[in-house]
Structure formats: C-alpha cells, structure tokens
Amino acid sequence: MAGIVRTLAAAVIACAALALAGFVIPNWLVLVATLAFSKGLVALGIVALMRGGLVSFGQGTFYCAGAYAAGMAMRSFGIGDAALLVALGAIAGLILGIIIAPLLAGYRGIFFATLTLALSMIVYGILNKTYSLGGSDGLNLHAPSFFGYHPARSQNASYALFLFTSLVTVIAAALCRIHFDSVRGLLSHAARDNEIRVEYLGASVRWINGINFVIAAVLGGVGGALSALSLGHIDPDFAFWTTSGEFVFLAILSGYVSVTAVFVAAILLELVRSYSSQYFPNTWQGALGVFLLLIILFLPGGLGSLALRLRPRGAKPARAPAENPNDRAP
Amino acid sequence: MKFRRFAAALVAGAGVLGSFTTSATAQDDNVFKLAFVAFLSGQAAESFGKPAVQAATAVIDALNAGSLPKPYDKVGFGGLKIEVHLIDEAGGATKQVEELRNAFERDHVDAVLGYVSSGDCLAVSPAAEELKKLLVLFDCGTPRIFEENQFKYVFRTAAHGAMDNVAMARYLVKRGIKVADVGAINQDYAWGQDSWKDFKGSLAQLEPEAKTKVELWPKFGAGQYGTEISALLQENPALVYSSLWGGDLQAFVLQAAPRGLMKDRVVVLSASDHVLPPLGNKMPDGVIIGARGANGQFAEKSPINDWYVAALATAYPGLIPVQPHYRAAQGLLGLKTAVEKAMAANGGKKPNSEEMAAAMVGIEWDAPPGHIKLALGDGHQAIQSNAAGRTKWDPDAKMVRLVDIEHFAAECVNPPPGIKSADWIAQGFPGAKCD
Amino acid sequence: MTALLETIGLQKAFGAVIAASDISVAVQRGQTLGLIGNNGAGKTTFINIVTGHLKPDAGRVMLDGKDITGLAPRQVRRDGVSRSFQIPQVFTGLTLDQNLLLALAILRKEGMSSWQPARSDVRTAELDDLLGRFRLRPYREQTIAVLPGGVRKLVDVAMAVTHQPKLLLLDEPTSGVAVEEKFPLMDVIMRAIEGTETTVLFVEHDMDIVGRYADRVLAFSAGRIIADGEPAAVLSNEEVQRYVTGGAA
Amino acid sequence: MHDPEKWKPIFRKDQALYVQRTSVKLAAAILIDGVIDASWLFIVAVGLTLVFGVLNILNFAHGSLFSVGAYAAASAVGWYYGGDLGPPFLGYLLMLGAAVAVALILGPLLERGVLRFFYRRDEVVLVLVTYALFLILEDATKLIWGAESYYASEPYALLGNVSFFGLSYVGYDFALIGLAVVTGLLLWFSLNRTITGKIVLAVIHDREISRAMGVNVTRVFAFAFTLGIFLAALGGAFTAPKISVQPGIGVTVILLSFAVVVIGGLGSVEGAAIAALFVGFARAAAIHLVPWAELFIVYLVMALVLAFRPEGLFRRMSARKI
C-alpha cells in the first residue's frame, strides 16, 4: 500500500507542478504540451500492451473513436463540458475495445500489429464516406467548458484546457503506474516473458492480453477526445496508419519502464517535429526519420531505461521488447 | 520518484525554451512576418505547392523592392518589409494546427497566408480564431468554411469551389453543347464529392435532359484508372466530367486518351489548367478546361496582370503561369490591401491583428485574374469572375492554348450573400447576374 | 477407492511417429513413480497429455474420477495437476522472488488485484517458507537470467508445488546438472514436498536416482509401456535392459 | 381486339440476347481489368512478402522504392527517347536496367548500411525502422528529382491498342500481365529449383537451423532484400509510363501491397499471387458494379479474409515447442 500512497502523493505534486509550469511557460508550449499529453495517453495504452508483449499498430481506431464520440456529442447533443466529453471518449474506447479484444487477444507479434492496422484503415475508409460526419474534411468543434466554467477563446482557454488535460493525464498515469506495479501488472510482464509457465500456473494469457487491450482502448479514447478538444477539429486522419505509427513510435521512444517517460517522449517528439519543420521546411520528414532511426538505434530501452540508468536503485531491470525473443507466432 | 522528476524536467525544459523564445520575440516594427503555407512535399507539391511558392517568392521580392505598378507600389506592406516563414502543408490537419499555433505564438508572425487543402483550411480556422490572429486562406475550395462557421480573423481571398462547376455548366449552355447523358469520375474525398455535387446540380438546372449514367470514385492518389476507364467506355456517356487534379489527373489523361475515351465526346475537367504545361501535346484538343477563376491563360489584359506575367517570365524563364500562381498572388495583394488600409486608419503604425481583421472585411482589389471582392461570409469570402475554354495544341509555341474562351461575371457564378451555395444551385441560381 | 490419476488407452501420433499407443496407467495417492525410457519413448508426451499441453488422438485422462481429457493446462492446474519442465520454464526477466510470488498469487481470488503492489513484502510467510524449503534464500533478489541451471531447476519445481497440487509431474528434474549435483538436487526437491499430500511422478534417465526415490517404475519404449512395477523388478526386466537401460545393472 | 405483333416472342429473345451480350461484356471487362490490376499489384507485393519471409521485416519503405524505380525509369526513358538514341523497343530494356540499378545501389546500401543494425530487434520495431526509411527516402527523392513531374509515356504507346468485346485496351497493359507472369514463374523456379532458392526457402522456414547448418544467413539477407527492392523498383519502372512520376506516388502503393501481402499471408509467394488476383478482381468488380465502394473495398476484403484466416490465405503458423 505504501507504494500506492507514494504514487498518489507524486500525482498530486505533478498536478501542482504542471499547473505552475502552465504559468511559467509560453503559451505555444502550453498548446504543444496539451496535445502532447493527449497523444501520450494513447501511447501509454500501447505501453500497457507492450508490457504484455504486444504492440498495436491500430490505436488510431480508438483515438478516432474517442475524438468522434466527443465531436458528435458536442455537435448533435450540444454537450460542451470537457469532463463529460472525455468520459464519452473513454466509453467509446471501452465499448470498441471490449468488442475487438476477444477477436485479437489470440494473436502476437506482427500478426497482431497487422490486424489492428487493418482495422484502423477500415474505420478510416468508412469515415471518409460518412458525409454526415464531415467526410474527409472532418468536423470543427467549439471550445469546451470546464465544470461550468466557460473561458472565452483566449489565453486562459488554452490554459484551462491544459490544466484539465494535465489532470486527466496525471490521473491516468497514476492509475497505470499502480496497475503496472501490482501483481496483475507483474503478470503481464510474466506473460511476455514465458506464456507456457503462465498457463501452467493457472492463468490465461488470452485474458491478460485482452484486459491490456481494453485498457489501451480506453486510454486511446480519452486521448482522442482530449486531442479533439485541443485541436478544435476532427477528421478521418485520426484513424490513418501514420497516426497509429506515431503512437507506436512514442511508446518505443519512451519504453515501458517509466510511465512518465511516455509524456516526456510525447513533448520531445512534438518539439522535434515542429522545430525541424521550422528549420527545414523542405526536408522535415527526412529529419524526423533520421531522429527516429537514431532513437531506436541508441535507446533500445527508450527514455525510461535512460531514467533507470540515472537512478541505479531502479524497479525491475528494463528490457525493451526489442531484446525480448518471446511471443513470435501465436 | 518519477512524477517529481517529470515535473522538474518539464519546468526546467519550459524555462529553457521559454527564455530562448522570449529572446526571439524581439518584435521588429518595420518588418511584416508572414508565414506562407503550401505543400512542399507529398501529392500536391508538384501541382500546387511548387507553383504557389514560386509565385509568392516572385511577388514578395517585387513587393520588397517596391517594383509593382500602382496601387501596389508601396514597399512591402505599407512600407513594412515582408519576411517569409515557409511552412510545409504536408503531414495532415493535426500538424497544420500545431504549426499554425507555433507560427503565431512562438515565431510571432503577423499573419498566416496559405492552405490548399480544404481539410486543412477547416482545421486551422478555429485555431487562428482562438488565438485572435489573422489567417488568410488563398486556395482551398470548400464552401463550408464560411457557410458553417463565423470567423472574425479568417478570410479567403479566392472564390470557393461552387463557382468552378457552375461556370462549367454555364459554358455548356453558352456554347450550345447539349448532351444526353453524363459520366463522372472524381476522387473519393470532399473535393471530388463536392465538385461533382455542384456540377450535377448546376446541370440539372441548366440542361435537365442530361441524365447521369455512371459515377466513379477512385481513391485520392490512386494513379491507375484502367478499370474506371473501362467502366466509362462501357457506359459510353456523351459527356465525361472530372474534378481530378495534379498527378491523378495527369495519369488519368495519359491512360484515358490512348483508349479513345476523350475522342468524339465532351470532356469537362473543372480544375485542370495546371496540368496543361506538364502534359503538353498529351492533352487532347477540344477538352473543356476550368482554372478555378480567370487564371493563367484566362486572365484578361490589365496593368497588374501584364506586370505579373512579365515578372514571372523574368523570374522563371519558360514558366507557363497557372491557377496556383494566380491564387497566391491574389492572396498576397489582398492581404497587402488590407494591411495598408489598416495603416491608413491607425496613422501608419504597424497594425495588429484586430486592426488588420477589421480593415480586411469586405475589401475589393485588382489582382492578376481580375477584380476580387470579399462579398460573402460577412465580407470574409471572396468572389471573382471565372472562365472556361477548350484546349488546342500549338505546335509552334509547343504549348496548349485555350480557345473558345467564355468569361463569367463573379455575380453570375457565385451565390449572393446569405445563401448557401448548395441551396443557391438547387434553387436555380436566384439573383445571379449574368450581364 | 478410485485412483488419483487414471489414463485409459491414450493414443498419440506425430505423423508417422507413434508417441503413445494404448497407454493405460492407474496412479494411487502417495506413490512416487519413476518414468524411464530412452529419448522419444513417449515419457514427455505422456506428461504433456496428462497436463493438457497435448490432446490425445484417443483415450481418456481421469483425475480423481473426473475426466480432464483435453482441458487446457491452466484448467488442469486448477484441478490440482502441476508440472516442472525438462528445460525450466521460468520468467527469466523477473527476479526469483517475483517468480515465486506470481506462483503464489495466481489461483487466488485476491491474488490478482490491480491494487495489491507486487512487492516481495506481501505474503512473506508463504514466500519465505517456499524459499526455505527449496534452499533458494540466497538468490531471492536476483534476476533468473543470471542464475545457474541447477537453481533454475529448483525455481521451476518450486513454482509447480505452490497450492499443494494433488499430482506433481517432474520432467527430468536432474537433467542438465553435473553428476555430483544430481542427488543433492533430487534430495532438496523430495524433501521440499515431504509431508504434503502431493503424489509425485518423475521422468529420469539416471537409474540410481530412480532406484533411490521411486517406489514404482514405468518403463516406456516406442510409445508403449513395456514394464510396470517395483524398481528392482522393472530394472532387472530383460526387455527393459535391452531397450532402456542398455544392459547395465 | 388484341394485336399479335405485341406477342412476338422474337422481341423478348432479342432483349434476352442483348442482356446476355452486355453481361458477358461486363464479365469480360471485370476479368481483364482485374488481371491487369493484379499484375502490377503482384510485382510490387511479391517483393514485400519475400523481404518479410526472409528478414522478418514488413518494409514500409517498399512504396518509396517503387517511386525511386519509377523516377529512375522515367529519367532513363526521357533521356533515351529525348535524343532518340536507338530503336524504340530498347526502351523496355532501359526500364528494366533502371530497376536493376536501383536495386543494386539501394539494396546493399539500406540492408548493410541501416537494417542490419536492427536485426536483433522485435519485428514491430523493425516496421518502425522502415517507416523512418520511408520518410527519409521520400525527401531524398525530392532532393534528387525535385517536385516537378516526369513522363515516360513513349513505351506506353509503343505496343498500340487491342480491343476486347468492343472495349479498347492499351497493348502495354497486357505486356505488364506477361511481365508479372514471367516474374512470378522465374521467382518460383529460382526459389524451388535452384540451390540459392532452396537456401532462401530454408532461411524463410527456420533462420536459426539454417545458420546452424552453415548457411551464410547474412548473405541470404542481403540477397533477398536486394531482390525485394528490385521487385518494388520493377513495379515502379513499368508503371512509370502510365502515370505522372512525382512526389507521393509511393504512398498508395504501400497500402495496397501491404493489403495484398497480409491477405496472401506474410512471407508467402504463392499467397501474394493469389491475393493480387483476389484484390484485382475485387476492385474491378467494385468499380464496375458498386463504384461508391471502391475506397475501402480492399480493406473490406482484407478484413473478411483476416476474420477467417488471420494469418492470411497461405501462411503456415509455427507451433511453439516446450
């Protein structure tokens, strides 16, 4: 229990620190951080899957589901409260996750990845044809309210959203930390390590992966809803494979040891992207590609492993899925 | 403790970045920082991005040199030298919103001019509005921007897509081209869907006897149209309509012409002038072409147009100007007009977004394609005249000329204020003034 | 009274290879069975079928009179049949503590909570007892990956004996360890499960060990049981000597 | 009083005949268009599946290599016909040569220079690596060839037109079918009937054992990857004459060939062939019968196939051993 208390305490501190940071940092960084956290939540879902040895290349499905759930709620039912919209996003992710999980829980490695990818591309195709949802151009959303507080479109609107996003992010992160540190969390680790033993100990690897998948789906929905609010716009690209690919990269970049690393990674990626596109408008994609390669090459364990190296008395020794030979074919 | 580390890291990082951006914020009052957004990579780079950047560079250099004819002879924008920040439009709407915010909030540009993709236009407009910064859209087509939203800081200096297809239909009438049936091939995304809807609607009003025989919806960027062409050949409609553009259109023509799809048949390409230079004699004669405005060869003689054609010719020898060149220049001159109007109002100071936005409402100006007027969307959405013509290969000049050209007044092909273009078409163009 | 484990006419073939043909065995509570036979004789196949890793082509597996044929390993485990492996199946990425902790936590309602922190300070008593019985205390903090083969063998078995299985199947517990370690290792294992209700069935190549620990021996050859009975009797059986022990003894 | 003329059966027969004729025409069109579509799909996809089979890499840069091939061919063809340097038919050889050149330069460069540093990694991480390569290659091609469009349409016209059931087709498209068939047969033959091929198959089947048996897996990797790139470039080179070669042409190719490979079963050459036909016919049928569904028909087919055979049509799953 001590661990949980410490994590919760840390969460409170983090909230305070972020609230403070929101004042200190320039507005553009507030906006970047807001979006980074939203995307980070989706990546956190992939991290939860990675701990069980799976990587989804189709989290765009849930990201998109969350975003459109929030968007439709806002446009069709005039729901404007951020908390409510994010809750709807989470529910959308949850429902979709529960439907899909049983279909995919039996697969591993590249098969799992391609299946999830295929799924997201179908969602993408369908949304492009759904003119009532704006088709390929998508929909615009207006600024949300926060528990009854309606900030005018202005600096404090973006600060309010940042605060709200940070709150949701920290809560989600803390819950994930607690889950990862729990016996069940450890079991995911074990399942990635040796499925046979897990089965012979009387546990079901299918269930472990299924639950992780649903967790990832919910986080994806939440992240999608938050992104929709911070962008003020949603379109089918939310489900496009490059979007999902970005989340996978975030997860790899952060590694699965530290939850915090996910969000650091998210901010880092946003900054690298925007600065490279500012300084090399003609070759920013190439620059991004090089950055990707270097990270994967020199940080196989992700930023999280870096943090562990800095702090010797770490939790369990980190091994990137990269170095993990298990779980090829189902 | 992870979270504490995180908070620390965040604050520290923020500090660093904050400091180095505030150092960069040194506002310079005699330059006008303009972010120019266009496709520098991806499928639209060749057909729209590159020409738009060429045009912007040429015009802005000339503006900074003060070498334009009256009334544009002031250096830069009302004496403020223009400093351009180039942004790549490729990468999806989410990235565009981020880059727009960074441009305004981090690089402190005074205005953003750009966007070819309708999706991007829809996505960035609310962001600019939220930041209360001036955003000028110069190319994208969708009417939804000002028909579904009200923006104070967002303007579009070119007419929206409805006019392209109304003009195409009117051209058929004016030239007495009667067809029994129509086949359509359009990309399956908003541009293709809207274009076809508008053309179909306009035709239903003007030539109700023309029946739609087949609608084909290739994927954007498909590049291979063998099957679509077979389907069209099989249905054998008297008229083939397409809003394809760029590489897709070039591929379509390359594959359709040899199979005789474009022979003894009316072919209407609603937004296709920009593929004539690359295609050259591979574009069959007699194809009905639109340029999304009286752009390129459709542009009529005027001081500004004569200057522009000459300027481009010197900057890029051998270049044949097409719609993106014209739309970019049109946007720049519109913005210039607004900025200088604002400066006239505030006593010559560098205007802020408020002043520029206020000044820009409802302005009119003369651009290479003709007289432009922000008549729609409460003075935020431009209307302009349009034109159509037929292709004719000129072996001596080694270029495709446009012949049998018809011009249409702005009020003839654009809806009047207060009515959505779709409804305007459906109701038979109420209040259209066609001289 | 019914036998603890009873197999009836088990058949299993991999392509042309017969791994089990008409295997019918009844194991009584409290017995300690040794399975002998040269490689490919069908010993491991027998274990794999009993524990649900393989589905027999024909035949049934009864546990306490309950038909457990074709159940998944985890269901069989829940019914009280546990096993160790020739190549230890342990969580090489986790510490020894964490390995055993999971073995203790699974099969428990409250075991699988998302709140209960997975630190070794919970359920110390059980864990400590297990560590003690298997002489594993010195290694508890270490990651399995760095531990020697003999220790892994012990961990593998230790993970199998949690929750008092009715039947414990040990697949070559002493294989892959130095000759002089075989007896000590086997001693630790047998002592660790002394006094529990657990019935043991182990596969072994070393006839001295079989003679020392088994009170009943099954000799396998080409998927059939060619001898069954007292160690002495079986080991002196000619057929066994010809096909299994290779004339020794 | 009724008029017998009305009841002339001949009238209905005519109509029946007419209906029959059009439906035959339609079927023929679907068949031909489907096969033409399948032919280039196969050439591209088989390279992708081969690379996955041998190196366990789902190469997202495959599309970029397609476009590099297209650029190379377009430049070569443009240069050749520009100064008409010889008999027009040599243009085809030139396109082939362009593909070979691309493969020989980029294959070793990417495999030895980049990929080999990641072989120990999880296959999903490798997908990410190739995604990075895709980003880099897209910009690299832009730096080399710029953003303008290149044409190589001379070879397209060279073979004239053929017409089937009153539909006119470009002869070149049938040449492409031939190319695909030849490619497929050569590949099949060299895999199943030559030592090298057998070695490659061995590596596909079990990398470790092959290594243990003394197969120089490293060389096989380099070889297979280069072959895969060659096939991508070949697809690009021979598609170039039909299209305008310019930035972004590789993007759709990735997704389509990806779909084909997944449907056929990752790493299966036969699978790629069948799946290419599968997808080709599905698309042709959709365009002729339900045009509005074209956008996602491929993914729909993919989903349906995966729903019943998640490992694809031809992939044999390897069982885990204790």
Interface of A with D in 5-34 (CB under 8 A): none
Q: A88: helix, coil or strand? A: helix
User: A329 CB near a chain D CB, below 8 Å?
Assistant: yes
Phi, psi (deg, nearest 5) at residue B156: -125, 120
Q: What is the DSSP letter of C157?
A: H
User: B275 CB near a chain A CB, below 8 Å?
Assistant: no
Interface of A with C in 168-197 (CB under 8 A): 178-179, 181-187, 189-190, 192-194, 196-197
**CA–CA dist B110, B128 (Å, integer):** 12
pLDDT band at residue B332 using 50, 70 and 90 as cut-offs: very high
Least confidently predicted of B305-309, B334-338, C170-174: C170-174
pLDDT value of residue D83: 81
What is the 3 state secondary structure string of chain B? Answer: CHHHHHHHHHHHHHHHHHHHHHHHCCCCCCEEEEEEEECCCCCCHHHHHHHHHHHHHHHHHHHHHCCCCCCCCCCCECCEEEEEEEEECCCCHHHHHHHHHHHHHHCCCCEEEECCCHHHHHHHHHHHHHHCCEEEECCCCCCHHHHHCCCCCEEECCCCCHHHHHHHHHHHHHCCCCCCEEEEECCCCHHHHHHHHHHHHHHHHHCCCCEEEEEECCCCCCCCCHHHHHHHHHHCCCEEEECCCHHHHHHHHHHHHHHCCCCCCEEEECECHHHHHHHHHHCCCCCEEEECCCCHHHCCCCHHHHHHHHHHHHHCCCCCCCHHHHHHHHHHHHHHHHHHHHHHHHCCCCCCHHHHHHHHCCCEEEECCEEEEEEECCCCEEECCEEEEEEEEECCCCEEEEEEEEEECHHHHCCCCCCCHHHHHHCCCCCCCCC
Number of Cβ within 10 Å of residue C17's Cβ equals 12
Q: What is the DSSP letter of C241?
A: I
How near does any CA of chain B get to the CA of D7, in Å? 30
Phi, psi (deg, nearest 5) at residue B399: -150, 160
> Under a CB-based contact definition with an 8 Å cutoff, are residues D94 and D112 in contact?
no
pLDDT value of residue B47: 92
pLDDT at residue A316 greater than cutoff 50: no
Q: What percent of chain C has pLDDT over 70?
A: 94
Higher pLDDT, A111 or D131: D131
How near does any CA of chain D get to the CA of C48, in Å? 10
Q: D2: helix, coil or strand? A: coil
| Vertex A240 angle, CA A235 and A244, to 5° | 120
CB-based burial, C171-195: b 16+ in 10 Å, e otherwise? bbbbeebeeeebeebbebbbebbee
pLDDT value of residue A325: 34
Q: What is the DSSP letter of C245?
A: I
Structure tokens at D309: 């055979």
User: B404 CB near a chain A CB, below 8 Å?
Assistant: no
> Under a CB-based contact definition with an 8 Å cutoff, are residues C84 and C97 in contact?
no
Candidate ranges A3-7, A128-132, A165-169; pick with highest mean pLDDT: A165-169
Strand B239-242 to B181-185 pairing = parallel
pLDDT at residue A273 greater than cutoff 60: yes
Number of Cβ within 10 Å of residue B122's Cβ equals 27
B263: region left, alpha or beta (phi > 0 left; psi from -120 to 50 alpha): beta
**CA–CA dist C56, C176 (Å, integer):** 29
Chains that touch C (3 or more CB pairs under 8 A): A, D
> Under a CB-based contact definition with an 8 Å cutoff, are residues C96 and C142 in contact?
yes
Q: What is the DSSP letter of D7?
A: G
Q: From chain D, pick out residues whose CB is under 8 angstroms from the CB of A114.
A: 58, 258, 262, 266
> Under a CB-based contact definition with an 8 Å cutoff, are residues A222 and A232 in contact?
no
CA dihedral A110, A113, A117, A118 (to 10 degrees): 60
pLDDT value of residue A323: 34
CA dihedral D173, D174, D178, D183 (to 10 degrees): 20
Strand C66-67 to C81-83 pairing = unpaired
pLDDT value of residue C109: 64
Partner residue facing A136 (CB), from B7, B9, B190: B190
Q: How far is CA B126 from CA A4, B130, C186, in A?
A: 41, 6, 74
| DSSP characters over D211-267 | HHTT--HHHHHHHHHHHHHHHHHHHHHHHGGGS-B-TTHHHHHHHHHHHHHHHH-TT
pLDDT band at residue A4 using 50, 70 and 90 as cut-offs: confident
**CA–CA dist B352, B33 (Å, integer):** 12
Q: Say which CATH topology domain B162-291+385-426 has.
A: Rossmann fold (3.40.50)
User: What is chain D's alpha carbon radius of gyration, rounded to the nearest angstrom?
Assistant: 23
pLDDT value of residue D145: 94
**CA–CA dist B293, B376 (Å, integer):** 16
Phi, psi (deg, nearest 5) at residue C167: -130, 130
pLDDT value of residue D142: 92
Q: Which of D31, D46, D35, D69 is CA-nearest to residue D260?
A: D46
**Cβ-defined contact of A21 to B144 (cutoff 8 Å):** no
Q: Within chain A, what is the greatest distance between any pair of CA atoms?
A: 59
- How many inter-chain contacts (A to D, CB under 8 Å) are there? 132
Higher pLDDT, D12 or C245: C245
> Under a CB-based contact definition with an 8 Å cutoff, are residues B209 and B152 in contact?
no
Pick among D159, D176, D287 to test the B interface (most B CBs inside 10 A): D287
Q: What is the DSSP letter of C121?
A: T
Whole-model pTM? 0.89
B and C: touch, per 3+ CB pairs < 8 A? Answer: no
Average pLDDT over residues B406-420: 95
- Intervals of CATH 3.40.50.2300 along chain B: 27-160+301-383, 162-291+385-426
CA B344 to chain centre: 29
**CA–CA dist A120, D89 (Å, integer):** 45
Q: Say which CATH topology domain C5-245 has.
A: Rossmann fold (3.40.50)
Strand C5-14 to C17-27 pairing = antiparallel
Average pLDDT over residues C51-73: 90
**CA–CA dist B122, B142 (Å, integer):** 9
Q: Which of B219, B233, C215 is CA-nearest to residue D286?
A: B219
Question: Residues B232-248: pLDDT tens digits?
Answer: 999 999 999 999 999 99
Higher pLDDT, A324 or B271: B271
Structure tokens at C247: 């004339």
Structure tokens at D248: 């972004």
Question: Residues B206-239: pLDDT tens digits?
Answer: 999 999 999 999 999 888 999 999 999 999 999 9
The amino acid occupying position C77 is: R
User: What is chain B's alpha carbon radius of gyration, rounded to the nearest angstrom?
Assistant: 22
ipTM over 0.90: no
pLDDT value of residue B410: 95
Least confidently predicted of A164-168, B2-6, B105-109, C153-157: B2-6
Higher pLDDT, D167 or B32: B32
**Cβ-defined contact of A14 to B3 (cutoff 8 Å):** yes
pLDDT at residue B57 greater than cutoff 80: yes
**Cβ-defined contact of B254 to D151 (cutoff 8 Å):** yes
Q: What percent of chain B has pLDDT over 70?
A: 94
Q: Which of A173, A211, A163 is CA-nearest to residue A43?
A: A173
Partner residue facing D167 (CB), from B230, B246, B255: B230
Structure tokens at A251: 């997860």
> Under a CB-based contact definition with an 8 Å cutoff, are residues B94 and A231 in contact?
yes
**Cβ-defined contact of A32 to B102 (cutoff 8 Å):** yes
How near does any CA of chain A get to the CA of B395, in Å? 36
Average pLDDT over residues B312-329: 95
Q: C200: helix, coil or strand? A: strand
- Those residues whose C-beta lies under 8 Å from the C-beta of residue A242, and which sit 6 or more positions away, are B92
Strand B181-185 to B154-156 pairing = unpaired
Interface of D with A in 128-147 (CB under 8 A): 128-129, 131-136, 138-140, 142-143
pLDDT at residue B3 greater than cutoff 50: no
Q: How far is CA B300 from CA A73, B293, B317, in A?
A: 50, 11, 21
Specify the CATH number for B27-160+301-383; select among 1.10.10.10, 3.30.200.20, 3.40.50.2300, 3.40.50.300: 3.40.50.2300
Average pLDDT over residues C178-182: 85
Going from N- to C-terminal start, the domains of chain C cover: 5-245
**CA–CA dist D66, D70 (Å, integer):** 6
**CA–CA dist B244, B253 (Å, integer):** 10
Structure tokens at A40: 């980070």
- Average pLDDT for chain A: 87
Residue D125, H or E segment: helix D123-145
**CA–CA dist A21, C172 (Å, integer):** 61
> Under a CB-based contact definition with an 8 Å cutoff, are residues C105 and C182 in contact?
no
